[in-house]
Amino acid sequence: MDSIVVTGNGPLHGSIPIAGAKNACLTLMPATLLSDEPLTLTNAPRLSDIKTMTALLQSLGAEVSDLADGTVLAMSSHALDNHTAHYDIVRKMRASILVLGPLLARTGQAVVSLPGGCAIGARPVDLHLRALESMGADLDLRDGYVHASAPQGLKGGIVDFPLVSVGATENALMAATLAKGTSVIKNAAREPEIVDLAHCLRKMGAQIEGEGTAEITVQGVDRLHGATHPVVTDRIELGTYMLAPAIAGGEVELLGGRLDLVGAFVEKLDAAGVDVTETATGLVVKPRNGRVKSVDVTTEPFPGFPTDLQAQMMALMCTADGVAHLHENIFENRFMHAPELTRMGAQIEVQGGMAKVTGVARLKGAPVMATDLRASVSLILAGLAAEGETRVGRVYHLDRGYEHVVRKLSSVGAKIERVKDA
């Protein structure tokens, strides 16, 4: 197994290109199941989660090839010959559940293992299932699998979510494109990844209105056709690298960055004393003079502060001036990075869904263990400004969601390398 070794090395200068969004790509890829014509995605990120989704789609009979060094995914589902998504693949990645809606809508049947994924709470899939039931699917849970059928096809329905779910909205949206009649998705997630999915589905011939708002209306069509679509910029990778100069000092431009993707996050950076400026090519981040100030943060569905940036923001707050309260509202067990940051000298008290972070002048490098994707990158960020060497273990979590992290951070002057564990 590999580790990443970071040594605090002073201010960072230069630019970092931001990749296409992992979470958008993971919902755009299953959209290929909706059509017998090719779907090509450009600006795809090169990540192990994408390889997992590739293997899952191939296991269903789809053709998936990566071109242009992995940044283009050419897919075709003209000959689907299997409707079972097996546990062996699904357990590696929770987003596998996103094949359920499109597979059912296109073929009238789908059997999908209940997913595993990051260990950040219970993360049930009841909302995905309720949405499909509202469109007339028959569902049965047996032996750890969801058995779904709709022999006469799905029917348009009202899907009224009791809470906002990104994945359930995506499954419902994809399924509704081929359902007979009109579907209305209420209390829909408004994340940029949903908007990107709707744009792609529209290119494929879907009739969708209201994406990016809490109510999406879909007029079902008989069939969808092929399309080519660029994956939207990864706002979480963007926010993560915006924190690098905020923590280590300096001035870094994030190429491809857009303010509309990270509004709530930028408001918090501004309050903490970090300037963010939009340019023609991206976002420039530069902390103002003096120590960053503590700010309170509450995670919420988009357009609120994203849960996927909570761990990284905590890394910034560890050395901020004052006391910060970080409230985690989306997942109930998402502070696993706190004890690891504490090993580096941070002062953090976790009380239920809230972490109280009292800023210290400087962190000290230590061997730490990554426990999930965003936690692992938060430890790297903390290491950028820590005194001495931080060794982050279990980096396979990182490979799920960040491409070329060592190359990207070295290019702006960080002292960081990937090493093989003895």
Q: Provide the binding-site residues for ligand UD1, judged by CB under 6 A.
A: 23, 26, 94-95, 121, 123-128, 163, 165-168, 306-308, 330-331
Of the candidates 25, 118, 200, 318, the residue annotated as catalytic is: 118
Active site residue 200: no
Instruction: Report helix, strand or coil for 109.
Output: strand
43 vs 307, beta carbon nearer ligand UD1: 307
CB-based burial label for 139 (10 Å; 0-12, 13-18, 19+): middle
Min CB(289)–ligand UD1 separation in Å: 34
3 vs 378, beta carbon nearer ligand UD1: 378
Q: Rounded to an integer, what distance in angstroms lies between the CA atom of residue 31 and that of residue 33? A: 5
Q: Cβ distance 77 to 62 under 8 Å? A: yes
Min CB(150)–ligand UD1 separation in Å: 19
166 vs 284, beta carbon nearer ligand UD1: 166
Phi, psi of 376 (to 5 degrees): -65, -40
Min CB(359)–ligand UD1 separation in Å: 26
Q: Which residues, 6 or more positions from 166, have their beta carbon under 8 angstroms from its beta carbon?
A: 23, 189, 191, 193, 194, 301
Q: What is the dihedral of CA 357, 358, 363, 365, to 10 degrees?
A: -40
114 vs 221, beta carbon nearer ligand UD1: 114
In this chain, which residue has its C-beta nearest to ligand UD1?
A: 167
84 vs 187, beta carbon nearer ligand UD1: 187
Min CB(130)–ligand UD1 separation in Å: 8
Q: Using alpha carbons only, what angle is made at residue 220 by residues 214 and 224, rounded to the nearest 5 degrees? A: 110
Min CB(173)–ligand UD1 separation in Å: 12
User: What type of residue is 390?
Assistant: T
Q: Strands, DSSP E only, in 339-408?
A: 347-351, 354-358, 367-369, 389-393
Active site residues: 118
